Amino acid sequence: MSKYDIIVLGSGPGGYVTAIRASQLGFKTAVIEKESLGGVCLNWGCIPTKALLKSAQVFEYLKHAEDYGLKVKDADYDFDAVVKRSRGVAEGMSGGVKFLMKKNKIDVIEGYGTLKTGKKVDVDGKEYSADHIIIATGARSRELPSLPQDGKKVIGYREAMSLEKQPKKMVVVGSGAIGVEFAYFYNALGTEVTIVEYLDRIVPVEDEEVSKQLERSFKKSGIKIMTSSEVTSVDTSGDGVKATVKTKKGEEVLEADIVLSAVGIKSNIENIGLEDVGIAVDRDKILVNDYYQTNIPGYYAIGDVTPGQALAHVASAEGILCVEKIAGQNVEALDYGNIPGCTYASPEIASVGLTEAQAKEQGYDIKVGKFPFSASGKASASGAKDGFVKVIFDAKYGEWLGCHMIGAGVTDMIAEAVLGRKLETTGHEVLKAVHPHPTMSEAVMEAVAAAYDEVIHL
């Protein structure tokens, strides 16, 4: 039996980052992976979807070249080549993780891992033991009883990024990050897209004004949006698929080539030995303390299988914190109230902290500032005037309660708000920090200025 200090079950952005940090701290480390290094994020999620979205964005630039004083004749695309590029990017990233495993002297054990009592893991009949076992098995596309996936006409995100043929019509069920990103991608390439959302607005976790702006932008692009609506059944017996949608006005049948189910994720906690070991689970999540220890000593869990936000950067942060605690370092628990969320459609969405409604619900007396990109010199020059930056401050102490952005490149701008909130900065400090001109990031300063009635360019 091979013995390690730490074994990590799963090699996604939680698992492989955890393994690398463990090795850096001097632990003899192994990672177990049943498929491809990098997990869903690198192979079928975060990275390849961004490659698809970039192709769509470039194609849109070509279609609107005249807006920039340029002439491009007969701009076209090759759907197979777009998908192939995306797969190539994913394969390259997975190869990069393989290199990092070798560089950090981490053993990669290929196969399906099952937890055993006594701090052991069985991998296809061979046992491995460790002082600490960290579960990082991630999640998959969630299936609804009314929307069973067959992988052909009713699909999840994995099939959506590797279709052999571009659909002429697509129904996207769910308008979270996955749903709106694919809606944008396929619409940009000419697919007729309808989004069906159960709640009363799209991207419902975002600030309400962000939802309204995205809906305006999407409708302008030709995407049909149905809110307060529910797919109650699908019929795949014909050439395409018919989705029966329950709306406030009654039932409506949508005909399409493909229905994409983007209604959330399901934790990968089945058949990995949790019951045999006695690890506590509640509502599809492994229960852990602030340092990711389960109820059974020596067993830990991070990432999508735990109650925190199901985001790659959260899983990575949790894994690092977990092994640093094991190493005896003085670490502080992760602040889940300061986790940024990003959606990479066009326009992009990025946010952190409380929405305006949440701040009011929690009883804060607030100052709200908003600066539209239509008033930004850089945005005008770039031809990207859709969207805005919105900031929320506590009126009494100046605490930065929330920041919400929608527009071009905002996923690269949100880190300013995350860092500012981490350092407990005030509105006046942000306002007096000189921002470069002309940049999109000036909109953050201008939004803060608007909150304090000092805005110059609006």
The answer to whether the annotation marks 346 as part of a ligand binding site is no
> Rounded CA gap, 447 and 203, in Å?
22
Is position 230 annotated in a ligand binding site?
no
Q: Is 174 annotated as a binding residue?
A: yes
175 carries a ligand binding annotation: yes
Backbone angles phi, psi at 340, to 5 degrees: -75, 145
Residue 197 is assigned to a ligand binding site:
yes
Supply angle C-alpha 349, 91, 307, rounded to 5. 50
Give whole-number Cα distances, 151 to 36, 157, 266, 416, 429, in Å.
20, 10, 17, 40, 52
What DSSP string runs through 198-253?
SSSSSSTTS-HHHHHHHHHHHHHTT-EEE-S-EEEEEE-SSSSEEEEEEETTEEEE
Q: Is 178 annotated as a binding residue?
A: yes
Phi, psi of 309 (to 5 degrees): -60, 135
- Flag whether 14 is marked binding: no
Annotation marks residue 437 as catalytic: yes
Q: Quickly tell me which residue has 């994913």 as its tokens.
A: 90
Q: Which of 64, 428, 437, 457 is catalytic?
A: 437
Q: Classify 4 as helix, strand or coil.
A: strand
To the question of whether residue 96 is assigned a binding role by annotation, the answer is no
- Inter-helix orientation angle 15-24/312-326, to 10°: 30
User: Is residue 181 annotated as involved in ligand binding?
Assistant: yes
| 127 known ligand binder | no
Q: Is 177 annotated as a binding residue?
A: yes
CB 371 within 8 A of CB 443: yes
With tokens 């990082």, the residue in question is 136
Binding site as annotated, residues for FAD: 50, 113, 304
Catalytically active residues are 437
Binding site as annotated, residues for NAD(+): 174-181, 197, 264
Binding site as annotated, residues: 50, 113, 174-181, 197, 264, 304
